[in-house]
Amino acid sequence: MTDDRTGQDLARAGTRAVERSSDVEQRQISNEARLIRGVFRAAGLAAGTAVRGSQWAVGTTYEVTKELAQAALDGESSADIAERTGNALRSIARSALGVTEGSVREIVSYVPTPNGSSQQAVTVGPYLRSATTDDLRRRGDALLARSADVYFTEDVHPAYDRILDEVAPDEARILRFMALNGPQPSVDVRTNRPLGIGSELVQGDLTSVPEQAGVRYPDRARSYLINLNRLGLTLTSDDPVVLSRYMVLEVQPVVEQALKKAGRAPKIVRKSLRLSEFGEDFCRTCFTIG
């Protein structure tokens, strides 16, 4: 009886050990499958941007994704799967985009080289940052290669897609307002000194554009304008607009507060806030206006 119980205990322990081993293996396979799918998805997005709307690209991406995921679940080694992934991505990018092997490695964010290594780069947020001078040189050469490729077309500036990710909804309202209404009055408030010598800037680039555009968060108006200027969509010009338009701006609370800080007989410098040429084209391309 003792031997039977001991045998049963050993059998149960062995079964649990097999189950634990199976669970570990299954988790490992699942992790590999997720990894391969994630790598392919990232590269597929890069290629898909240039062939957006292509039914061929959609179908091919789907079939290759299934093939790679099945390979991971079938227990193929990581090296074999990485090699298969690299070959598939190179084939899709080369066929869909009509570029050379050298350019493919720049378009796809991860393409294993023949020796199993991958291009070294640093990822910052959603963007790829080249790690070395050689990486920058390869990316630059890839751009030149695409510029000489008669089959490569680009409907819009590639920065527009990225800029839309960096523009707040309120900032979009500001851009639309300016696209519809043109340059807007802006002022600097300075201290007044004889002959202007020693005059100090109290507050600059004051405007009521965010409030006129109807932004949802007026307390962020200053940050909105700084970001739009950073992106090259707006600029401040020394050319003023019609003088009568400054009368409304100069009685706004933000300007009155700056005038009080400037002391006796403050000086007002009248300027204008405008869309840059780049900003005008961005608005025409990305917004339905009118």
Which phi and psi (to 5°) does residue 188 adopt? -110, 140
pLDDT at residue 165 in the model: 94
* Ranges of each domain in the chain: 159-286
pLDDT at residue 146 in the model: 81
Helix (H) or strand (E) holding 214: none
C-alpha distances in Å from residue 87, one per residue of 101, 179, 225: 11, 47, 46
pLDDT, mean over the chain: 74
pLDDT over 60 (residue 134)? yes
pLDDT for 162-211, tens place per residue?
A: 999 999 999 999 999 999 999 999 999 999 887 767 789 999 999 999 99
Across the range 49-64, mean pLDDT stands at 49
Query: Residues 6 or more apart from 189 whose CB is under 8 A from it?
Result: 201, 202, 203, 204, 206, 255, 258, 259, 261, 262, 266, 267, 268, 269
pLDDT at residue 46 in the model: 47
- Report the range out of 45-54, 137-146, 272-281 with the highest average pLDDT: 272-281
CATH 3.30.470.20 fits 159-286, yes or no: no
Alpha-carbon gap, residue 265 to 285, rounded angstroms = 45
pLDDT at residue 272 in the model: 97
User: What is the pLDDT confidence band of residue 279, given thresholds at 50, 70 and 90?
Assistant: very high
pLDDT over 60 (residue 55)? no
Alpha-carbon gap, residue 69 to 34, rounded angstroms = 8
C-alpha distances in Å from residue 179, one per residue of 72, 112, 116, 121, 279: 52, 46, 51, 39, 9
Helices (H), the chain: 2-50, 55-73, 78-97, 101-107, 133-147, 159-165, 169-181, 209-213, 221-230, 244-249, 253-261, 277-286
Coil vs helix vs strand at 229: helix
pLDDT at residue 241 in the model: 95
pLDDT for 150-163, tens place per residue?
A: 777 778 888 999 99
pLDDT for 66-104, tens place per residue?
A: 665 666 566 666 556 656 666 666 565 555 545 454 444
pLDDT over 80 (residue 284)? yes
